[in-house]
Structure 1
Amino acid sequence: MTAAESEDSFLHSARPKWQWAADRLRQDIAEGSWAPGDQLPVERELANTLSVSINTIRRAVGQLVREQVVLRRQGAGTFVCPEPAPTAPGRRLVGVLVPSTTYYYPRVIDGLQRVLRGAGFGVVLVCSKYDLDVERDELRGMLDTGVQGLVLVPSLHLMDDPQSYVDGLRDLPVPYVLAERRPPSPEPDDPTTFVGADHAGGVCKAVRHLRDLGHQRIGFLGRVNTGTADQVADGFEKATALLEVDVDPRVRSRRLLWQPQEITAYARQCATAGVTAVFCHGDRDAAALVVAVRRLGLSVPGDLAVVAYDDEVAEVGDVPLTAVSPPKTEVGALAAQLLLHRVEGGPNVPSQQVLIQPRLVIRASCGARLAEPALTASA
């Protein structure tokens, strides 16, 4: 083993691997292995080269992104910054932690960034990919970067004690706001500032619309273990009870992941149970249900009306989906505004807890609007 290899081995064992990997990549860039503007190899290739895991490389690259040594281009890859761009002395930064940058959250991020940048703040954006270890380390990394505030979308649904986690955030050294998350079992005086979509209210709008269209037997095809799955499911239970809609237990089903054959079986069950409408948590599952129903020789919305929740890709397809559309951009923008208020106003700023109602976007999959009542002839 050479002296350099011995030193690398020592460094590798003496501190976290991701920091060692970040140093190696930073050194390679400084020595010209990749020139400004060059694209870095894919994560797996980097991991194999450095004999570390994919997660280690992701954290290392994330650190280089924060340092503005490299930059990520959505859908393209990771590139060496064309010119060094260190943070200017005195420039104010806000850290933003999201679990995903590819589904649901791009519009939340857009709303956040427009408000923060308009107020003269730089944005340090990190993604946890629903990994609690990454989430913890990225949060620490943002604090080390010197952010003045945080907008957080933590993966509370993956935690054993999410309320304790939320309570622990009060010890952070900077102001923070939760976006699309709220304390799961708060005490009456919980001071957490948050803003999110009123998911239960959005579900109620959808169920009321289906009821007004004449549907009395409605199914629920839902998910488990997502950030909003329980809120959507609870909203459906409350809405159907409030509106006195019949829900057959056989077609009230939730899964971690719906397989095509399971959706086909669900469609058959709806036909057997006399269900005339289904509320689906997720555009993709709703679209798959439409396909399954049509393969059974039935029609949408003639035999089965379908309403989705999310409105990410609901208008794509042969039968555009009626969908509950959460106010994603508005949630991001308001979260940023609330954080700026806390940063500028100091510790005595009152906490605010805001829910924004989603819209119901009517498309072809539910049969559109309720028909006007027929006029009766006068005697």
Structure 2
Amino acid sequence: MNSLPRGRRFRTLAARLRQEIVQGRWPVGGRLPTETELAQTYSVGVNTVRRAVDLLVEEGLVRRRQGSGTFVTASGASGPRPRFIGALVPSNTYYYPQVIQGIERAATAAGVRLVLACSDYDPDVESAQMRQLVDAGVSGLLLVPNLHLSADPAAHLAGLRRLPVPYVLVERRPEAPGPADPTSYVCTDALGGGYTAVQHLARLGRGRIGYLGRIGTATSEQVFAGYRQAVADLGLPEIPAAVARQSVWTGPDLLAYANVCATEKVRAVVCLGDREGTALLPYLRRVGLTVPGDVALVAYDDEVADLAEVPLTAVSPPKAEVGRMATELLLRRIELGSAAPVCRVVLQPRLAVRASCGAASGTLVEVRVPL
């Protein structure tokens, strides 16, 4: 514990003592060891112990009695009422504003204040912001970690488990969590979203479906996997030349792809994300293809899809609902302490049907992925 920054030690110790109270090490009415004894047990200074116990007094878990010591007044099974929680997102300008709205509404409904931080997709900033939120005394954290930018995502997740407060991942999860993985998360089924985009286009009679997308994003592999699975399950022809993925799409890249659509007689394209789909439209027109007459488009994200010159049909993640459910789950984990069960929540996105696919617009279609 001495390796922690000085400002964090007492909060980490308070979390440790709180957990041991919940687990019954000291029963209600029992006396805690003296501050000197606790300092020796946990290898910290007496002042660190005193500040940690002050937090537990404020939460109502323990009470000091003049001349007698400090006694447990509550089991902690129902947990302290949180005063405020922290949320760390990678962006506050794209995708996450709606997630934040869901978080804010749930926190307000519960009478809990929210402290918001942004990592700007920088792992170093992410670590610093988490430390600052913990040091500020948050009761729990909603985290969107940059796992896709980490050289070792498993180690990244292991580091989160050492946090001294409860946390819930938002729109992130372990790639293949084991049966005993302790990570709780709420996220969108991006694989299902990629699948339903293909499924919808196939139902419209668009048999030759290409894919244009980005790589290196948090959802890029899942959306692409959903596309590939749907093509295989539905027995659609594979068109390798019309499957293109790269980190950045330039004008010449998009023109080259539009030419592929023309020569390969592609009838539809799934795009990750809205911006790429919107940018492709003028290049399809340049090579003589119309949307949706010759080529139908479906994008994934639904952030600016409706603003395209031909409004894009888009897979629409339930962003606000993800934020709301994650917040409610975090508050429950704070309330129950170590007794809280691990929860893994995956929400299916919907399909917002607009002009770019040629179907009746203004509807929402549920994602249904075969088991």
The answer to whether TM tops 0.5 is yes
Q: 1:328 aligns with which of 309, 319, 322?
A: 319
1:56-95 aligned at under 5 Å gives the runs 92-95=83-86
Where 2:346 maps in the other structure, the secondary structure is strand
Q: Distance in 1 between matches of 2:82 and 2:99?
A: 23
Q: 2:213 aligns with which of 194, 197, 222?
A: 222
Q: 1:105 aligns with which of 78, 88, 96?
A: 96
Where 1:135 maps in the other structure, the secondary structure is helix
Q: Distance in 1 between matches of 2:330 and 2:82?
A: 17
1:211 aligns to what? 202
Shift of residue 297 of structure 1? Answer: 2.2
| Structure 2 gap ranges (5+) | 6-80, 362-371
8 Å CA contact 1:213, 1:369 repeated in 2: no
Matched, 1:280 2:277: no
Shift of residue 186 of structure 1? Answer: 2.3
Q: 2:337 is aligned with what amino acid?
A: G
Q: Distance in 1 between matches of 2:181 and 2:94?
A: 30
Q: Distance in 1 between matches of 2:230 and 2:182?
A: 29
Shift of residue 302 of structure 1? Answer: 0.7
Q: 1:120 is aligned with what amino acid?
A: G
Matched, 1:247 2:212: no
Shift of residue 187 of structure 1? Answer: 2.0
Q: 1:259 aligns with which of 247, 250, 255?
A: 250
| Structure 1 gap ranges (5+) | 1-15, 17-89, 371-379
Q: 1:274 is aligned with what amino acid?
A: K
2:260 aligns to what? 269
Q: Distance in 1 between matches of 2:194 and 2:129?
A: 33
Shift of residue 171 of structure 1? Answer: 1.6
2:295 aligns to what? 304
Matched, 1:289 2:285: no
Matched, 1:232 2:223: yes
Q: Distance in 2 between matches of 1:252 and 1:274?
A: 13
Deviations 1:44-101 (A, max 9, x none): xxxxxxxxxxxxxxxxxxxxxxxxxxxxxxxxxxxxxxxxxxxxxx971101000000
Q: Distance in 1 between matches of 2:176 and 2:296?
A: 35
Matched, 1:137 2:128: yes
Runs of 4+ in 1 over 6 A off after TM superposition: none
Q: Distance in 1 between matches of 2:178 and 2:292?
A: 44
Deviates more, 1:147-156 or 1:243-252: 243-252
Shift of residue 369 of structure 1? Answer: 4.7
Shift of residue 188 of structure 1? Answer: 2.4
2:30 aligns to what? none
8 Å CA contact 1:290, 1:306 repeated in 2: no
1:166 aligns to what? 157
Q: Distance in 2 between matches of 1:317 and 1:171?
A: 45
Q: Distance in 2 between matches of 1:225 and 1:142?
A: 27
1:45 aligns to what? none
Q: Distance in 2 between matches of 1:298 and 1:185?
A: 41
Deviations 1:164-190 (A, max 9, x none): 211222221111000000012322221
Q: Distance in 2 between matches of 1:218 and 1:139?
A: 42
Q: 1:250 is aligned with what amino acid?
A: A
1:116-131 aligned at under 5 Å gives the runs 116-131=107-122
1:349 aligns to what? 340
Q: Distance in 1 between matches of 2:251 and 2:140?
A: 43
Deviations 1:253-276 (A, max 9, x none): 111011111011101011111111
Matched, 1:96 2:87: yes
Where 2:116 maps in the other structure, the secondary structure is strand
Shift of residue 102 of structure 1? Answer: 0.2
Q: 1:255 is aligned with what amino acid?
A: Q
8 Å CA contact 1:111, 1:333 repeated in 2: yes
TM-score by length of 1: 0.72
Q: Percent identity?
A: 54
1:149 aligns to what? 140
8 Å CA contact 1:322, 1:360 repeated in 2: yes
8 Å CA contact 1:163, 1:186 repeated in 2: no
Deviations 1:121-177 (A, max 9, x none): 111100000111110000001000000000000010000110121122222111100
Q: 1:96 is aligned with what amino acid?
A: A
